[in-house]
Amino acid sequence: MSDAPATKLPSMGLREGAGERESDRPIRVMVVDDSHLMCWLLTRWIGEAPGLELAGIASSGSEAVATIGRRCPDVVLLDLEMPEMGGLEALPTLLKICPSAKVLVVSALTKNNAGVALDALAKGAVDYVSKPSASGQNCDGQEFRRALLKRIEAICRPPEPRPVRRPRQAKLDTNRAALGFGDGPAMPVVRKPFSMVVPRVIGVGSSTGGPEALLRFLTPLAPAIRRAPVLIAQHMPAEFTRTLAARLAIATGMSAKEGMDGEPIKPGHIYLAPGDRHMTLAPSKPPTIAISDAPPVRYYRPSVDLLFESLVDVYGPAVLGVVLTGMGSDGMEGAGAISKAGGSVIAQDQASSVVWGMPGAVSTAGYAAGEGTPEQLAEVTVGLFEMERP
């Protein structure tokens, strides 16, 4: 979930109703935190940031529940650990009272509460930003401020208008190896054809909204996963990835773990890049995972681009690249490498993405053979593996 620094919030585009431009309407932010210092910092940053407006402050989940209805925020910055009612307990009620609000968890990140943070994402929070700590690695207050403002901008800015037709039935036309979109006008973006080579490896990239999208994509894939390894680069802190891997294992019934340096990959296994570390595939026999602390690539570590490019080096056209929800454009260059090598790339659609940055970049660049919801992408993936049957 690490992202590029942002210096200012760009204009927000057009908003329907009342003739008001979205760029003229400030994003209303509600702060829910029991720390006086954190409330002071957050409200100060909100007041200083162009395009933001403070909607209110609450010092507990119960106070937030009691007041959110009249404050009508666009974004709620929600702490998890608070007296009376914690953020996780309050979250479902907050979204029920104000379903249009985007909840961004802002809380101290430790190994102990990584599971709680993932629970919050499962209950409807859109993303997580870790508070800086006085000790330890996460102590850069300015980086925290940049990451927070960038997340608010990403989850609130309406995407660029683009007509998107979701597949009526996500099936594979094996005569031309293309995704069937049913009757109607052609997609506005030129699609690459699917590869006629059956995938031997699946590479997945995701960021904001990724944990839930990964569960939705991977859970139906057990038959396909048993015949190919899955390597995932998800932007998130180191404390998260081991917990996320455990949840993927439970959901899919397959082996899922953080990748280890020098580990041979096996079909039927899911490998997740350790948080804040690059994961690539080394062209050995058998292919092995390489874990690196090299500098971020275009601001990202782990880098989806590096992962995808390394898969092409080993498997050539037998790579299936999957780009799920996330901010930024990480994965676009790697998707291009897969496409140029003759492999297949699919991307999450705009309607189902929390942030249509990464998949949008891949789709509009013309590298995607098709797009859809995570469940539809899973169905197409299974279809690609069915090609090897007589």
d(CA 35, CA 77): 13
CA atoms within 13 A on the CB side of 153: 25
The pLDDT assigned to 140 comes to 57
CA atoms within 13 A on the CB side of 328: 28
Domains 22-156 and 172-386 share a fold: yes
Average pLDDT over residues 344-348: 97
d(CA 356, CA 342): 25
CA atoms within 13 A on the CB side of 35: 15
Per-residue pLDDT tens over the stretch 164-218? 443 333 344 433 333 443 333 333 455 788 999 999 999 999 999 999 999 999 9
Domain spanning 22-156: CATH superfamily: Response regulator (3.40.50.2300)
d(CA 339, CA 342): 5
Q: What is the DSSP string of 94-106?
A: HHHH-TTPEEEEE
* 3-state secondary structure at position 258: strand
Report percent pLDDT > 70 for the chain.
Answer: 82
Among residues 318, 327, 289, which one has the least CA distance to residue 306? 289
What is the pLDDT confidence band of residue 34, given thresholds at 50, 70 and 90?
very high
- Given a cut of 70, whether residue 129 has pLDDT beyond it is yes
Instruction: Say which range, 161-165, 265-269, 382-386, has the weakest mean pLDDT.
Output: 161-165
What is the pLDDT confidence band of residue 266, given thresholds at 50, 70 and 90?
very high
Domain ranges across the chain? 22-156, 172-386
Asked if residue 28 lies in contact with residue 53, where contact means CB atoms within 8 angstroms, the answer is: yes
CA atoms within 13 A on the CB side of 247: 19
- Given a cut of 50, whether residue 12 has pLDDT beyond it is no
* 3-state secondary structure at position 257: strand
Instruction: Say which range, 43-57, 152-166, 220-234, has the weakest mean pLDDT.
Output: 152-166
The tokens describing 224, both together, are 């396909």
C-alpha triplet 278, 379, 192: angle, nearest 5° = 70
Average pLDDT over residues 212-229: 92
d(CA 96, CA 150): 26
d(CA 160, CA 149): 20
What is the pLDDT confidence band of residue 107, given thresholds at 50, 70 and 90?
confident
d(CA 251, CA 244): 11
Q: Does residue 107 carry a catalytic annotation?
A: no
Burial class (CB in 10 A: 0-12, 13-18, 19+), 346: buried
d(CA 357, CA 324): 9
What is the pLDDT confidence band of residue 141, given thresholds at 50, 70 and 90?
confident
Single out the catalytic residue among 2, 60, 207, 363: 207
Q: Does residue 305 carry a catalytic annotation?
A: no
Strand partners, 124: none
The pLDDT assigned to 63 comes to 96
Strand partners, 27: 52
For the domain made up of 172-386, the CATH class stated in words is: alpha beta
Q: Does residue 235 carry a catalytic annotation?
A: yes
d(CA 295, CA 306): 12
